[in-house]
Amino acid sequence: MPKNNTAAPIMTNENVTELLKILRDNNAPTMRDFMAMLNQVAAMEKQYAAMTNELAAMRRDLAEAQKHNHPVKDTLQKAVTALQAQALELRDKLAALKDNIITGCKNAIEAFKDKGVAALDGIARFFHIKPLLEGIRNNAAANIAADDRAIAKIEAISTEYHETGKHLKNIGRAMIGKDTVQDAKPVGKLAHAFEAPYKLNRKINVSMKKSVESAIGAMARLEAKAAERKPSIKKTIEENNKKVEREKAERPPPVRARKVEHDI
């Protein structure tokens, strides 16, 4: 379980707000990209909240389908169960992401107090969130695929349901000498009602995926800026070696002690 309080919005955390103030007060070049990353995480929080609301709506639809013994009820039950598991997984990943950011902010603040403004140029090193962001992106992609499958299955079952109804109706019409109906009814109103939460959930996950990708891009820019300002180890070693050689060359030769000969 995360050690920090990750239930509250990321932008209200005291460590986050303090680091933002430090970056702003010192006109740090990393301020813009760091803020962009935080804004995307805040967007993910809102998207996750919307997702949980839609999941609740889907549970209500499931109860309605079970009440009317609609043929789509089994498909709806499986989809709700799968999406609930995915939502729980996303919740844990988002909590871990926020915990990492909060801890990173705390460490960056301590580094600033210890080393000064120079510590702000490499703040990317305090945040190891790329694997977490990629995990959330994969989760969103899985949710989108699950929504697509559920929508397709609901429409297929609804079409089959109305096709069966058409055949039964035509038997009755034939018995009284009326022409048969050639076209089945389109997807029914109830099926459309069941599809609606999936379609909205899909839209939420598409937005979530875009937010994650934007956050990954912001972190990549922060890492690139840190790399530009950090001299390579090889270069540092070479410069130190040259300095040692230069100092040796400039050092005057040692004075040899003169040999004194004594007459016996």
> Model confidence over 102-142: pLDDT tens digits?
999 999 999 999 988 888 878 889 998 999 999 999 989 98
| pTM of model > 0.85 | no
Cα–Cα nearest to 145, from 214, 205, 211: 205
Q: Give domain status of residue 261, yes or no.
A: no
Number of domains present in the structure of the chain: 1
Q: Give domain status of residue 262, yes or no.
A: no
Measured in whole angstroms, the distance separating CA 26 from the mean position of its chain's CA atoms is 29
Distances (CA, A) of 87 to 50, 108, 118, 209: 11, 31, 40, 14
Q: Give domain status of residue 216, yes or no.
A: yes
Integer Cα distance of 253 and 235 in angstroms: 30
Give pLDDT tens digits for 211-231. 999 999 999 998 887 777 655
What is the full DSSP assignment across 147-211? HHHHHHHHHHHHHHHHHHHHHHHHHHHHHTTPPPP-S---S-HHHHHHHHHHHHHHHHHHHHHHH
Integer Cα distance of 168 and 232 in angstroms: 79
Which residues have a Cβ under 8 Å from the Cβ of 62 and sit 6 or more positions away? 73, 76, 77, 80
Q: Give domain status of residue 96, yes or no.
A: yes
pLDDT at 97: 95
Q: Give the mean model confidence (pLDDT) for residues 55-70.
A: 80
Q: What's the mean pLDDT when you consider all of the chain?
A: 77
Q: Give domain status of residue 205, yes or no.
A: yes
Lowest average pLDDT, out of 72-81, 82-91, 147-156, 247-256, goes to 247-256
Question: Which residue segment(s) compose the domain that 107 sits in?
Answer: 10-248
- Contact yes or no for 126/105 (Cβ under 8 A): yes
Q: Give domain status of residue 190, yes or no.
A: yes
Distances (CA, A) of 198 to 57, 59, 77, 133, 213: 10, 12, 13, 24, 22
Question: pLDDT-derived band of residue 92, with 50, 70 and 90 as boundaries?
Answer: very high
Integer Cα distance of 81 and 67 in angstroms: 18
Q: Give domain status of residue 142, yes or no.
A: yes
Q: Give domain status of residue 44, yes or no.
A: yes
- Contact yes or no for 52/80 (Cβ under 8 A): no
